[in-house]
Structure 1
Amino acid sequence: MLDSAVESFGLACDYNGKIIEIFYDNLGLGSFKIGEPFLKIGDEGCQEKALDFIEKIKNQDAVYDWEFTLKLEDELMGLHVSGFLVNQYILIFGAKSADDTFHFMEHLTQVNHEQTSVLRGVMKYFTTHFLEQEAKEAKIYEELGRLNNDLTNAQRELTKKNIQLEQLNQQKEMLIKEVHHRVKNNLMIISSLLNLQSSYLKDEESKEIFKESQNRAKSMALIHERLYRSTDLKNIDFKEYITTLANDLYRTYVKDPSRIGLELNIQEVNIDINSAIPLGLILNELVTNSMKHAFPGDRGGKISISFGKEEDEFVLKVSDDGIGFPPDLDYTKTNSLGMQLVTSLTSQLNGKLKLENSQGTQFTITFKELGV
């Protein structure tokens, strides 16, 4: 410790006034504790004065001979205190009189080389630590800036790729739409050719076969037409499709609408194209079969079509209250091309086909939507 006859103290604070080193105190002031602010000394009035003292040192670099009154062992002690700003650190000296403070600072700088070296070491440590911290922060900011630039460049590149992908996706959609449009046109051409060819036939049975083939082509063309006009190139609104197809077939086969009625009960559901095409052909065959065979002569009645989803399965029902399916005819083994198509296409859907023949005819097809 510093050997001085002067009753005094000396300490170092950081820039915010927190005590970091007490390098001399022969007054026995317990008010000074490392790690606590210098502002905490004394009572409330003294603390406010200490706050002004620290602020003036920051603003003026040095403040001389401020008087503080501290309580020491139940006695009040008046101290004269001076402070200096050195390299963003604050050095504070005090004694019982202004002269003692001056002599203490003089003695400190001229005599006590050992304590001065300690103080210099303390100041050097904190200055070096401060500079190292600044250098670390500078490196961190530099690295953050580099990462930010990299992120900006990556984001810019990602935006560019997204624009390119969007353009490719639009081109793909246009091509798919064009494919659906051309398939639809080709199927309609086939339907028209079948119609033209049938005009040269004299045999009514052969004409009927051509008409059925023509309707099959139309049923597939109708699906591609829906996909071409839709924003969803994978699914179609099956309610709209069934309504259009059933009404087209109704106008084709039913000459007297007052005799045979058509009832539709269709849920709002979308169907994947992989399921829509075989299901459309099945519907075409079953509705055609009812319209052609269920009401011979002048017999009247009604054809009903229902379609929707029950739990995880789709259910299609085509029924009529006509004469019914011949009881001695096994529809799974018939030579009828239409029923062979229905059986084959139901299998293609991994579905189940059921016939009820007690009151007219009702075919029920249940299936789960096919995966992509």
Structure 2
Amino acid sequence: MSTEFKDHADALQTRYQALLATEPKLRARERAARLAVSEAQLVAADCGVASTELQGPAQTIFRELGTLGHVMALSRNDDCVHERKGTYEDIQAEGAIGLVLGADIDLRMFFNNWVHFYAVTEGERRSLQFFDAEGIAIHKIYMTEQSDNAAYDALVAKFAKSEKTWPAVTAYAPDTTPDVPEDAAALRETWLGLKDTHAFFPMLRKHKVSRLGALRSVGNDLAQVVDNDAVEAMLQRAASSELAIMCFVGNRGMVQIHSGPVKKLVRTDPWYNILDPLFNLHLNTESVVSTWVVNKPTSDGWVTSMELYNEAGELIVQFFGARKPGVPELTEWRELLLDLCKEPLAA
């Protein structure tokens, strides 16, 4: 351990212990914010945990995750936490964009943003944790009672760095994408010509407009605001009818997806939660500034989603009816969202 690392870690440990004495129930993300440091720095300094830094690249580590067996995958942003239990299967992690396409764990990885990697022990809990250049958590993998602990030990031993380095914070440049398209009519024409939902992001780049800016510009038949409590109404109706849905939560480096029905819905203060055996979602409804029903044409017919945005205009969470490419959208899902709309959608 270098003198520089030890000085950073010791100073942070002192501040961390003082915070812990006054606010013991804070979560790691909240502790980092209170101390004006990154969560990766808390982990590196062993604040409340014991950590081993891992040698990347992230793709190399990711290709080994199937050996761990049944685990819990966690991805989040500031306003929503997505937890899914299962096994990492069909791992495709060769280039900048990776996929996990298992029956339970379904991920899209954007590896250019994966910078700091650790094996972390917190009490009895063992995990692998991945952070971006700002030290913000991208993805965490928690061992469960059904996991292969010997495989975890072998993975950590294989990728462990001989000495930890202090995780410097490199700020990302602010997003300066305009919120108003140069030509709203041309944007609408491109939107109406979509054949695949995956063409949506390239469309935004082509027209140099933010996602939320596009929704505001194309007309209520393609994207319209609904009440912010519509997400609770949607989830309650989906649960009562056993309707299979898809739930997407993302950050700079990851999109994590759940597909299937939801059952147990619980509110805890501002957090609206799905608490099922294999899938948990924690949504801070106080962060939701606008809720949209979004309507896209595809070669399989119209595909409808519900999207929630925060005050910064960032996408918090997306919901779709469960579907696979080549399969039309569930009629029950579309009818549910139509019922929440004040105006008709294009069809």
Q: Between Structure 1 and Structure 2, which shows a larger proportion of helix residues? A: 1
Identify the TM-score tier after normalising by the shorter chain.
Answer: under 0.3
Q: Between Structure 1 and Structure 2, which shows a larger proportion of strand residues? A: 2
Q: What is the TM-score with the length of structure 2 in the denominator?
A: 0.23
